[in-house]
Amino acid sequence: MAEAAGSGLPNGGESQRSRWKYLDNILNRRGPFTDPEWQPGEAVIEGLSRAKILGAGGLGCEILKNLALSGFKDIHVIDMDTIDVSNLNRQFLFRHADVGKYKAEVAAKFVEKRVKGVKITPYCGKIQDKDEDYYMQFAMIVCGLDSIEARRWINATLVGMVDDENPDSMKPLIDGGTEGFKGQARVIFPTMTSCIECQLDMHAPRAAVPLCTLATIPRQPQHCIEWAHIIAWEEERKEITLDTDDPEHITWLYQKALKRAQEFNIPGVTYSMTQGVVKNIIPAIASTNAIVAASCCNEAYKIATNTNPFLGFPETDNYMMYTGDESIYTYTFQHMKKPDCPVCGNLARPLQVNPNSTLHEFLESLAERPEAQLKKPTIRTEEKSLYYQFPPSLEEQTRPNLPKKLNELVSDGEEVAIDDPAFQVQFKYKLVFQK
Tell which positions 163-182 bind other proteins, by CB under 8 A.
180-181
- Give yes or no: 212 in active site: yes
- 107 or 343, CB closer to other proteins? 107
Q: How far is the CB of 393 from other proteins (least distance, A)?
A: 35
Among 89, 385, 411, 426, interactor with other proteins by CB under 8 A = 89
Q: How far is the CB of 119 from other proteins (least distance, A)?
A: 16
Cα distances (angstroms) measured from residue 187 to each of 243, 381, 385: 36, 34, 37
Using CB under 8 A as the binding rule, the residues of this chain from 134 to 163 that contact other proteins are none
CB 205 within 8 A of CB 196: no
Q: Cα separation of 432 and 10, whole Å?
A: 63
User: From the candidates 143, 198, 212, 296, which is the catalytic residue?
Assistant: 212
Contact region for other proteins (CB under 8 A) — 122-130, 157-165, 297-305, 362-370?
A: 297-305
Q: Cα separation of 388 and 401, whole Å?
A: 10
- 292 or 343, CB closer to other proteins? 292
286 binds other proteins (CB under 8 A): yes
Q: How far is the CB of 247 from other proteins (least distance, A)?
A: 5
Among 136, 204, 208, 285, interactor with other proteins by CB under 8 A = 285
Contact region for other proteins (CB under 8 A) — 124-132, 282-290, 378-386, 399-407?
A: 282-290
Instruction: Please report which helix (H) or strand (E) contains residue 433, including its range.
Output: strand 426-433
**Using omega within 30 degrees of 0 as the cis cutoff, is the peptide bond preceding 391 cis?**
yes
- 9 or 417, CB closer to other proteins? 9
| 229: nearest Cα among 261, 259, 256 | 256
Residue 260: strand, helix, or coil:
helix
- 216 or 241, CB closer to other proteins? 216
Q: Cα separation of 99 and 85, whole Å?
A: 6
Half-sphere exposure (CA, 13 Å, Cβ side) for 204? 6
Torsion 102-105-110-115 (CA) sign: positive
Among 14, 46, 50, 86, interactor with other proteins by CB under 8 A = 86
Contact region for other proteins (CB under 8 A) — 124-132, 141-149, 293-301, 385-393?
A: 293-301
Residue 67: strand, helix, or coil:
helix
Using CB under 8 A as the binding rule, the residues of this chain from 199 to 258 that contact other proteins are 217-220, 247, 250-252, 254-256, 258
Using CB under 8 A as the binding rule, the residues of this chain from 11 to 70 that contact other proteins are 18-23, 25-26, 29-33, 62, 65-66, 69-70
Q: Cα separation of 193 and 339, whole Å?
A: 11
Among 77, 156, 266, 278, interactor with other proteins by CB under 8 A = 266
CA angle, 26 then 141 then 162, to 5°: 115
Contact region for other proteins (CB under 8 A) — 42-50, 288-296, 401-409, 425-433?
A: 288-296
Q: Where are the beta strands (DSSP E) in 102-204?
A: 119-123, 140-144, 173-179, 182-188
Q: How far is the CB of 71 from other proteins (least distance, A)?
A: 8
Q: Cα separation of 239 and 346, whole Å?
A: 46
Q: Cα separation of 77 and 80, whole Å?
A: 10
280 binds other proteins (CB under 8 A): no
Among 119, 126, 259, 376, interactor with other proteins by CB under 8 A = 259
User: In this structure, what DSSP letter does residue 131 have?
Assistant: -
How many residues of this chain interact with other proteins, rule: CB under 8 A?
A: 85
Contact region for other proteins (CB under 8 A) — 100-108, 156-164, 328-336, 390-398?
A: 328-336
Contact region for other proteins (CB under 8 A) — 42-50, 84-92, 152-160, 406-414?
A: 84-92
- 294 or 386, CB closer to other proteins? 294
Q: Cα separation of 278 and 229, whole Å?
A: 7
Using CB under 8 A as the binding rule, the residues of this chain from 96 to 125 that contact other proteins are 96, 114-116
85 binds other proteins (CB under 8 A): yes
CB 375 within 8 A of CB 420: yes
Using CB under 8 A as the binding rule, the residues of this chain from 330 to 389 that contact other proteins are 330, 332
**In angstroms, how far is CA 49 from the centroid of its own chain?**
27
By DSSP bridging, strand 140-144 and strand 173-179 are: parallel
| 135: nearest Cα among 165, 155, 112 | 155
Q: How far is the CB of 29 from other proteins (least distance, A)?
A: 5
Question: Residue 232 phi/psi, 5° resolution?
Answer: -65, -40
Q: How far is the CB of 228 from other proteins (least distance, A)?
A: 11
- 102 or 322, CB closer to other proteins? 322
Q: Which residues are catalytic?
A: 212
